[in-house]
Amino acid sequence: MAQATFEEISASDFFYRNRDIAGFTNPSRAIFAAIRELVENSLDATESQKIPPDIYVRLSFEGEASKDTQIYKLRVEDNGSGIQPRFIPSAFGQVLYGSKYKLKQTRGTFGLGGKMAVLYGQIMTHQPAYVTSSTGLAKVYSFKLMIDIQRNRPVILERKVLINKEQWRGTIVEFTLEGDYLRAKSKILEYFKQTAMVNPYANLTFVDPKGRLYKFTRVTTDMPDPPKETEPHPYGVDVELLQRLIQVTPYRNMSEFLKQHFHRVGDITAQKFLEFSGLSPSKNPKRLSHEEVVRLMQNLKKFKEFLPPDASCLSPLGEGLLKAGIMKELKPEYLVVNQRKPSTYAGHPFIIEMGIAYGGEIPRKGGFIIYRFANKIPLLYDEASDVSFRVINSMNWRRYKVSPDMPIAIVVHICSTKVPYKTVGKEFISDRPEVRREVANALREIARQLHRFLSKREHVDREKRRLSIFAKYLPKIAQFSSSLAGKEKLPDVKKLIKSVQKYEKEA
């Protein structure tokens, strides 16, 4: 009888085996995911320093791989914060590097950033990745790396140190990967366009394998404040997180433990909570039994007196920037945006921002065009499953005199320390009542304003038409009646036309 063997696998190995989860499902999706991961890394790196991003992406053809796929070299340059040299190998050569005991609004969908992209490239082409970075100080560091998949360790093949004569700051990543650009092209271009829409302060440049240049230019250098790190809110913790906190905490009593590791817990709240859960304030958290930890977690969720999470850690776009971005990419005739007040779901703060754009260069598609964003990244797949899609489609649009065959685009942006994605695919937002309510409220507000705009315009149009009818026919009546009556002089109808003019300025 054969004996079953169990072996431990590394995180790299795990993702190698389950690359579907991270979005590297097929050759066209993989190339899209690689670009997206690196661009989002770059955006985060620039935004954290409030530097208006300049991101350059080049995808070049290296050779045929199979019947449907090709080998490409992907190069992404940014002007972000740069990475300190000692972190570079781990940042790109070790999956799940870094510890997360704090929460922060970030773009990265999986926290894998470029690592997964590099890993995928290595798997498919067996080529090393090149990472060059500088924090703007005296030196530029350049690494040639591979990942030891089984041990989940970076392997440094080459390390160069250069003098940073031009005081350059930023990061350049270059590696080869296999993919299908032709099929990915439309999604990639859509991705850039939509990214430009919610990052109106960014310059994005993309050169595709055919040498075509796509440029998205910034319209402002105003940037939102970078997101701040925050402690987890008591409502949002699970046993796993609690246990990890207990392991790393330097605090030796429950009162300090609660105050230091949780969001919006002060002396009084901590005291009340400990009374509520029957724990001694002086108890050492490391001495809690497993059952006590579970009970603690349950009580954290039950206790009603925690203050709601504070949204100051969030970095929404703001109405001004959202407006600028939509204006720049969609060029509508009319645009209104609305930012909701912060709200929470399950202990996580979130903010909904929405915009509705009408006319101009927006095409008529026979239905609303919906642009969805989460933490400033576009969501391009599974639109019909998204909560906003449902809210938009269940709205009684007739009340707002809006019909789906009008040229209308609706933009939804949710930002949160934890975006409520429904599935591991992380392409759509789940239908949580708190989120649904905020989306619906924002939508109603912008729909009301669109309605106001449409009815005012219709009114002005009707008035213009009315006036033009009088202006057209009264002179004719004058002409025909004069000739019929045999009169030389035409009667003056200007006064009559003026008398039917209701709105002096608009007409």
Partner 1 sequence: MRKKLKSSVAEKKNEVLGSLKSLGTNVYDQLDSGYFPSISMPSRSTENINYDPHLRQFILGDKSVRRSARNIRHVKPFTQLVWAARFSHELASQRKTSTLRDVYYSAQAYAMTFKDQQESNNIITDLETVLGFSREDFNIFPEERSAVFGDLTIEYTVPGYEGRTLNLTSHPDGVLIGPALTSSEFVSTTANKVIAIEKGGLFTRFIEENVHKKFNAVLVLTAGQAPRATRHFIRRLHKEMDLPVYIFTDGDPWGMHIAMVIISGSANAAHLRELNTPDAKWSGVWATDIINYKLPTDPLDDVDIKRLYELQRDPRYKEDPLWQKEIKTFLKIKRKAEQEAFSRYGLTYIVDEYLPTKLEENT
Q: Which residue ranges make up the site for partner 1 (CB under 8 A)?
A: 466, 469-470, 473-474, 476-478, 480-487, 491, 493, 495-496, 500
Provide the minimum distance between the beta carbon of 453 and partner 1 in the complex, in angstroms, as a whole number.
Answer: 25
**Hey, is 330 helix, strand or coil?**
helix
For residue 57, report the phi and psi dihedrals to the nearest 5 degrees: -125, 130
Provide the minimum distance between the beta carbon of 330 and partner 1 in the complex, in angstroms, as a whole number.
Answer: 37
Provide the minimum distance between the beta carbon of 469 and partner 1 in the complex, in angstroms, as a whole number.
Answer: 6
The half-sphere exposure of 353 on its side-chain side, counting CA atoms within 13 A, is 22
Residue closer to partner 1 by CB (options 221, 483) is 483
Provide the minimum distance between the beta carbon of 503 and partner 1 in the complex, in angstroms, as a whole number.
Answer: 15
Provide the minimum distance between the beta carbon of 492 and partner 1 in the complex, in angstroms, as a whole number.
Answer: 8
Residue closer to partner 1 by CB (options 205, 482) is 482
Residue closer to partner 1 by CB (options 21, 478) is 478
Instruction: Please give the Cα distance from 25 to 37 (Å, whole number).
Output: 14
Provide the minimum distance between the beta carbon of 457 and partner 1 in the complex, in angstroms, as a whole number.
Answer: 19
Return the H-helix or E-strand segment holding 103: none
Residue closer to partner 1 by CB (options 365, 472) is 472
**Closest of 321, 61, 330, 56 to residue 215, by C-alpha:** 56
Provide the minimum distance between the beta carbon of 480 and partner 1 in the complex, in angstroms, as a whole number.
Answer: 4
Alpha-carbon distance values, 378 to 80, 164, 191 (Å): 21, 35, 7
Residue closer to partner 1 by CB (options 217, 468) is 468
Provide the minimum distance between the beta carbon of 468 and partner 1 in the complex, in angstroms, as a whole number.
Answer: 11
DSSP 218-265: -S----PPPPPPBPPPGGG--HHHHHHHHHH----SHHHHHHHHSTT-
Instruction: Please give the Cα distance from 373 to 429 (Å, whole number).
Output: 10
Instruction: Please give the Cα distance from 97 to 102 (Å, whole number).
Output: 14
b/e per residue, 187-223, with b = 16+ CB within 10 A?
Answer: bbeebbbbbbbbbbbbbbbbbbbeeeeeebebeeeeb
Residue closer to partner 1 by CB (options 307, 469) is 469
Instruction: Please give the Cα distance from 235 to 295 (Å, whole number).
Output: 13
Q: Are 442 and 354 in contact (CB under 8 A)?
A: yes
Residue closer to partner 1 by CB (options 425, 491) is 491
DSSP conformational letter for 356: E
**Hey, is 174 helix, strand or coil?**
strand
Provide the minimum distance between the beta carbon of 455 and partner 1 in the complex, in angstroms, as a whole number.
Answer: 19
* Token pair recorded at residue 357: 């754009």
Residue closer to partner 1 by CB (options 361, 506) is 506
Residue closer to partner 1 by CB (options 395, 474) is 474
Provide the minimum distance between the beta carbon of 452 and partner 1 in the complex, in angstroms, as a whole number.
Answer: 25
Q: Are 34 and 118 in contact (CB under 8 A)?
A: no
Q: Are 222 and 409 in contact (CB under 8 A)?
A: no
Residue closer to partner 1 by CB (options 5, 499) is 499
Residue closer to partner 1 by CB (options 369, 471) is 471
Instruction: Please give the Cα distance from 269 to 260 (Å, whole number).
Output: 12
Provide the minimum distance between the beta carbon of 438 and partner 1 in the complex, in angstroms, as a whole number.
Answer: 46
